[in-house]
Chains A and B, each alone.
Chain A
């Protein structure tokens, strides 16, 4: 059961990571003109249209993660401690807290992407989007590495 949830959690995380990375690149490094190249296309995605999908993906991914988290606390964390893998354990603790801060940031993220607000606070919109992207990247890599340590289905 937890293996199935972990796969769904991972797939949702990939979708979230892709959407948020696209959006972050498009606001950090916007294309002045679309030339048709891959990089130009990446920089000129209609980033505002990603916002609601990113929020939904973030919340749904977090819900799946919060269910799997119980299994982590019961069996996986103890294994990490048995093997004295303190850095992976600490990295996962940080992931938990970073994602919580990210969850709390979602209402502001939504607000600063509203067309009526985005123009006046464009710098805030860029920084909040980049911060969320950094949180999701950290969480994705940490979760992936931790899963590799324990081994899938073990």
Chain B
């Protein structure tokens, strides 16, 4: 499973890039649900709200895919062991980070 070795790296990178995309609004696409229109990159709301979630997912998937592909250049030992720990530590940390970012909802 040579290519499969990159899958944990994809998951690690995805979590990090996703949270960075949310915090800095790095959306590759924007959807305007009120007028059923898509836009490139992070556009300001037009009529009604703008949705960046799809864009954040796209940014994360492309970024994580590129990093995962690059990770194949690294040797299996010791990196497979490192990925097997980071693959759950990083998502847990990112969950904590997003909870911190959104804490304002719970402190009003």
Q: Which of B51, B87, B88, B106 contacts A90 (CB 8 A)?
A: B106
Q: Would you call A114 an interface residue if the criterion is a C-beta within 8 Å of the partner chain's C-beta atoms?
A: yes
Q: Could you give 20 example pairs across A and B, Cβ below 8 Å?
A: A74-B33, A86-B105, A90-B102, A91-B105, A93-B105, A96-B53, A97-B19, A98-B98, A100-B18, A100-B56, A101-B95, A104-B10, A104-B11, A104-B91, A107-B11, A108-B8, A108-B12, A109-B11, A111-B4, A131-B88
The distance in angstroms between the C-alpha atoms of A108 and B68, with both chains bound, is 11
**From residue 56 to 72 of chain B, which have CB atoms closer than 8 A to chain A?**
56-57, 60-61, 64
Q: Would you call A103 an interface residue if the criterion is a C-beta within 8 Å of the partner chain's C-beta atoms?
A: yes
Interface of A is mostly: helix
**From residue 40 to 59 of chain B, which have CB atoms closer than 8 A to chain A?**
48-49, 51, 53-54, 56-57
**Interface pair A101/B88, CB less than 8 Å apart:** no
**Interface pair B87/A128, CB less than 8 Å apart:** yes
Given the known interface contacts A90-B106, A100-B57, the answer about A70 and B88 at a Cβ–Cβ threshold of 8 Å is no
Q: Would you call A39 an interface residue if the criterion is a C-beta within 8 Å of the partner chain's C-beta atoms?
A: no
Q: Would you call A110 an interface residue if the criterion is a C-beta within 8 Å of the partner chain's C-beta atoms?
A: yes
Q: List the 5 closest A-B pairs by CB distance, nearest first.
A: A90-B105, A104-B14, A108-B11, A70-B33, A107-B7
Given the known interface contacts A69-B53, A94-B98, the answer about A111 and B105 at a Cβ–Cβ threshold of 8 Å is no
The distance in angstroms between the C-alpha atoms of A114 and B15, with both chains bound, is 22
**Interface pair A101/B4, CB less than 8 Å apart:** no
Q: A74-B48, A94-B102 are in contact. List 18 more A-B contacts (CB 8 A).
A: A66-B54, A70-B33, A87-B105, A97-B22, A98-B98, A100-B18, A101-B14, A101-B94, A104-B15, A104-B91, A107-B8, A108-B8, A108-B10, A109-B11, A110-B7, A112-B87, A114-B1, A117-B1
Question: Within the complex, what minimum Cβ distance (angstroms) separates B36 from chain A?
Answer: 9
How many inter-chain residue pairs (CB < 8 Å) link A and B? 106
Given the known interface contacts A69-B51, A73-B49, A74-B48, the answer about A111 and B91 at a Cβ–Cβ threshold of 8 Å is no
Q: Which residues of A contact B57 (CB under 8 A)?
A: 100, 103
The distance in angstroms between the C-alpha atoms of A112 and B106, with both chains bound, is 36
The distance in angstroms between the C-alpha atoms of A84 and B98, with both chains bound, is 21
Q: Would you call A52 an interface residue if the criterion is a C-beta within 8 Å of the partner chain's C-beta atoms?
A: no
Q: Would you call A147 an interface residue if the criterion is a C-beta within 8 Å of the partner chain's C-beta atoms?
A: no
**Interface pair A98/B105, CB less than 8 Å apart:** no
The distance in angstroms between the C-alpha atoms of A50 and B49, with both chains bound, is 39
**Interface pair B60/A100, CB less than 8 Å apart:** yes
